């Protein structure tokens, strides 16, 4: 991938962290962009009008400020549902990530 993805919503970051944490240890960090960033085209307008998820991407690094605690955790069932959705997309030859 050519970008770093981030969101302004702690719970959105938590969702992504839990899906990515295969060992079950998810971490969310407050970050500061070090360069220009744009709306994430993978969710903005393509899936949701505007940017309600407040999702962004940058070709530049981000600076970690601190670890964030207290974000809403998914239930084991909801986490499994999300992982199954991702697996279906991974196996869909028409699915696309805009890079």
The answer to whether the CB of 28 falls within 8 A of the CB of 17 is yes
43 inside domain: yes
Tell whether 98 is covered by a domain. Answer: no
Per-residue CA distances from 51 to 39, 78, 93 (Å): 7, 23, 26
> Is 40 within the bounds of a domain?
yes
Predicted TM-score of the model (pTM): 0.80
20 is a domain residue:
yes
Give the CATH number, domain containing residue 29: 3.20.170.40
Structural domains counted in the chain: 1
Whether the Cβ atoms of residue 68 and residue 10 lie closer than 8 Å to each other: yes
Q: Using one digit for the tens of pLDDT, what is the confidence trace for 10-64?
A: 999 998 899 888 887 899 999 999 999 999 988 887 777 888 889 999 999 999 9
Q: Determine the Cα–Cα distance for residues 82 and 34; give it in Å rounded to an integer.
A: 31
**Does any domain span residue 96?**
no
Q: Residue 34: which domain range?
A: 4-90
Domain contains 95: no
Name the phi and psi angles at 79, rounded to 5.
Answer: -65, -45
């Amino acid at each position: 991938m050519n970008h770093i993805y981030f969101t302004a919503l702690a719970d959105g970051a938590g969702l992504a962290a839990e899906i990515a944490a295969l060992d079950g240890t998810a971490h969310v960090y407050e970050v500061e962009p070090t360069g220009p960033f744009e709306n994430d085209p993978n969710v903005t307008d393509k899936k949701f009008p505007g940017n309600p998820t407040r999702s962004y991407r940058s070709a530049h690094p981000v600076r970690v400020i601190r670890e964030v605690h207290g974000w809403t955790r998914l239930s084991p069932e909801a986490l499994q549902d999300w992982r199954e959705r991702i697996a279906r997309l991974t196996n869909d030859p028409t699915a696309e990530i805009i890079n």
